[in-house]
Chains A and B, each alone.
Chain A
Amino acid sequence: MPGSPSTRSIRKRLVDADDHFDITPLPEFDDARLGSINLRLGNTFLIARRASVSSIEAQDVRASQRLFDEVRLPGREPLVLQPQQFALATTFEYLSLPADLCGFIQSRSTYGRMGLIAATATYVTAGYHGCPTLEIVNAGEVAVVVRPGEAICQLVLITAGEEPGDLHPSRYQCTVRPYPARRM
């Protein structure tokens, strides 16, 4: 039956080296509670260009790749997102989900109330490894400053009933940076 794993179970599994569930760096225990774990913003961003591409078609993967400029911020330097600006980023944490867990990544309410949407219920499949890509949009009326390391979103865990042998690698398996669409 799908459900949410307990806080105790999440914490225990995260420090068990033999368990296939892993998040690195290990979250602070305060960040892992009630079936969810706070995740921080990584340092690499793909910023959408506004002027040089007239439009893109979802089927045209190469065009969507040309849409972005990559920026990697040193340390905790800020990124300013203007109103309506769109960027791809990743979580700082690297997730390894076992066959019996999947989840959704959603914005934390603090950021949502500033108009910043960090993730639109991004689905993370059982067996996924990597730093999930976040699609960040400033839907507000004023610029918003974000910094690498801010706990901008959370992973809501759900139990899954997959068998390890049935898992199929995601097309973004084991990636640590944001990627535009790879293939349809």
Chain B
Amino acid sequence: MLDPTSRAQALARRFNNVLTALGSLDDRKETLTPATAALLAQVQDAVEATRQAFEERWNNLAAVDPAVRDRLRTNLCDQVLRVLAEVAQTLLPALDGTTSQGIPVELDPILTRLAHRADPTNPAVILSSAPGFQYSVQRVAAPIQMATSVTGKTVSTTAGLSTFLFLRLPKIERDSALLHVILAGHELGHVRDWATQTSQNLVPPPLVLSTGAARAEDIVTHKNLISFWAREIVADIFAAFIFGPASLLSFTELVLTVGTLSGDSFTHPGPNRRIEIILGVLRQLDYFDNQEARALLSDLEKATAGAAATPVVVQQFSGQEIPQAAWDWLSSQVPSLIAQCQSALAPDEILDAGKWQEIEAAASQLSRGRPFGELVTGSGDASGDISVIPVPEPIILNAGWLVRMRGYEGLAKIVDLDPRDTKQSADLAAILDGLLLKSLEISDWRLNNAWGK
């Protein structure tokens, strides 16, 4: 098994399997978005080029002195394995998750537009579903480049060389539009953070421990904790500015689905700390001056008051002095991070409480069992002026949360379902999510006049 020939035979089998899997995706090309089709073409080109280079180099080594040939062939196998591992572990699952059984295809153009607003380099967006209950975002360099480690030269592709942005959502939540605020808000908040380098620009202070000088590994841990936690906080802040209360409510729903409000981890500060920060942004946006908006937030305000001052407990650490020091410093930086995020956004991107009336109007339409993706004003007379404008996504999604938080009033009557009944409330939630996806689809269609006239 360990000799190069056995490894080459195993790799040949892996190549075949990978190419077969890519080929089956190719068979349903008509259901792929242009970005996914470009990714698939690049991965196919990369794998094919790697396979050809592997065979060529393997055969060329036949003429080399046997004493060094095995070592060189083993190195070659290692290089190929890294390419195949990247394909099998990252690229194929993402491509596999792009089927319409797993993603809300209506959101794809919207998320692409929002991602391009967050990142002016316009990465190609791959919306993909994954098992489990996680949302995530990952930037992936043009896959064709990974082949160069084996080919030793640039590999050509017809698919373009753009960077990709993988946005993942839980497959079982495909149509949960209310929850997908996390994707459009927090996950794309990470993209804004990468583009503005807000968290990356933080310079942690020297670590001072009660036991004396910090060890090198303590300093690294302290720095990593600040870096990981800052990324999450900055993404939360961007999401709160752009999506207002919906960012908070979707985050809380996700947290309560998979765990509890408290509990820090190595990569994420406790949800209660994050909620308190998000509430701070919403307060700054005047939501607490609006009685109706405040009613949505007051429970969470009470539940998380003072969370920033509670002791940090990260399960992975036996002593908590380093995480506590990291949190103490990072929490002192929050006002500055909020100011930086706000200044990085255009005024029309910020959803403050001044938009509340629009949110109420949209919620009123949803409660009547109607999508609200466009706003029609004017007269229906032949000579009259009619104006039709798309409703922005943050308004639609906040309106959805408003209907949900008010117990589906109105909508329940239209569809004759009882929100107090568990089964029927699930049906109501699905109907509301459908109305929201339709609203978002219509808004995007109106914005782009996608089908022309």
Residues in chain A within 8 A of chain B (CB atoms): 8, 11-17, 22, 24-26, 28-29, 40, 43-44, 70-79, 94, 96, 129, 131, 149, 168-169, 173-177
Nearest Cβ distance between residue B113 and chain A, in whole angstroms? 13
Tell whether B84 is near chain A: CB-to-CB under 8 Å: no
Query: Which residues of B in the span 91-110 have a Cβ within 8 Å of any Cβ on A?
Result: 100-101, 105-106, 108-109
Question: A74: which of B108, B384, B451 is its contact (CB, 8 Å)?
Answer: B108
Q: Is the CB of B376 within 8 A of A15?
A: yes
Size of B's binding interface in residues, CB under 8 A: 43
Nearest Cβ distance between residue B379 and chain A, in whole angstroms? 7
20 contacts between A and B (CB under 8 A): A11-B380, A12-B380, A15-B378, A25-B373, A25-B446, A28-B453, A71-B31, A72-B105, A73-B31, A73-B105, A75-B33, A75-B34, A75-B109, A76-B451, A94-B371, A94-B442, A96-B369, A169-B414, A174-B431, A175-B434
- Residues from chain A with a CB closer than 8 A to the CB of B105 are 43, 72-74
| CA A28 to CA B388, docked complex, whole Å | 11
Q: Is the CB of A12 within 8 A of B370?
A: no
Nearest Cβ distance between residue B127 and chain A, in whole angstroms? 10
Question: A176: which of B376, B435, B451 is its contact (CB, 8 Å)?
Answer: B435
Q: Is the CB of B451 within 8 A of A149?
A: yes
Nearest Cβ distance between residue B419 and chain A, in whole angstroms? 14
Nearest B residue (CB) for A151: B451
Q: Is the CB of A24 within 8 A of B370?
A: yes
Tell whether B266 is near chain A: CB-to-CB under 8 Å: no
Tell whether B32 is near chain A: CB-to-CB under 8 Å: yes
Q: A72-B105, A73-B100, A169-B416 given. 10 additional CB < 8 A pairs?
A: A8-B381, A13-B380, A15-B376, A17-B377, A25-B388, A79-B30, A168-B416, A169-B415, A174-B411, A175-B434
Q: Is the CB of A96 within 8 A of B376?
A: no
Q: Is the CB of B370 within 8 A of A94?
A: yes
Nearest B residue (CB) for A19: B380
Nearest Cβ distance between residue B62 and chain A, in whole angstroms? 48
- Residues from chain A with a CB closer than 8 A to the CB of B117 are none
- Residues from chain B with a CB closer than 8 A to the CB of A8 are 380-382
- Residues from chain B with a CB closer than 8 A to the CB of A77 are 30-31
Nearest Cβ distance between residue A42 and chain B, in whole angstroms? 9
Q: Is the CB of A15 within 8 A of B386?
A: yes
- Residues from chain B with a CB closer than 8 A to the CB of A13 are 380
Nearest A residue (CB) for B366: A174
- Residues from chain B with a CB closer than 8 A to the CB of A17 are 376-377
| CA A70 to CA B99, docked complex, whole Å | 10
- Residues from chain B with a CB closer than 8 A to the CB of A75 are 33-34, 109, 450
| CA A82 to CA B160, docked complex, whole Å | 34
Q: Is the CB of A74 within 8 A of B32?
A: yes
Q: Is the CB of B31 within 8 A of A74?
A: yes
Nearest Cβ distance between residue A33 and chain B, in whole angstroms? 11
Nearest B residue (CB) for A90: B438
Tell whether B276 is near chain A: CB-to-CB under 8 Å: no
Tell whether B374 is near chain A: CB-to-CB under 8 Å: yes
Tell whether B228 is near chain A: CB-to-CB under 8 Å: no
Nearest B residue (CB) for A168: B416
Query: Which residues of B in the span 397-453 have a Cβ within 8 Å of any Cβ on A?
Result: 411, 414-416, 431, 434-435, 437-438, 442, 445-446, 450-451, 453
Question: B33: which of A11, A14, A74, A169 is its contact (CB, 8 Å)?
Answer: A74
- Residues from chain B with a CB closer than 8 A to the CB of A175 are 431, 434
| CA A94 to CA B438, docked complex, whole Å | 8
Nearest Cβ distance between residue A98 and chain B, in whole angstroms? 11
| CA A14 to CA B109, docked complex, whole Å | 28
| CA A94 to CA B416, docked complex, whole Å | 19
- Residues from chain B with a CB closer than 8 A to the CB of A173 are 369, 414-416
Q: Is the CB of A25 within 8 A of B414?
A: no
Nearest A residue (CB) for B446: A25
> Interface readout for B26-66 with A: 1 if CB under 8 Å, 0 if not?
00001111100000000000000000000000000000000
From B34, B451, B453, residue with most partner A Cβ within 10 Å: B451
Q: Is the CB of A26 within 8 A of B369?
A: no
| CA A12 to CA B382, docked complex, whole Å | 9
Q: Is the CB of B380 within 8 A of A174?
A: no
Question: B100: which of A12, A71, A76, A168 is its contact (CB, 8 Å)?
Answer: A71
- Residues from chain B with a CB closer than 8 A to the CB of A24 are 370-374, 442
Nearest Cβ distance between residue B441 and chain A, in whole angstroms? 8
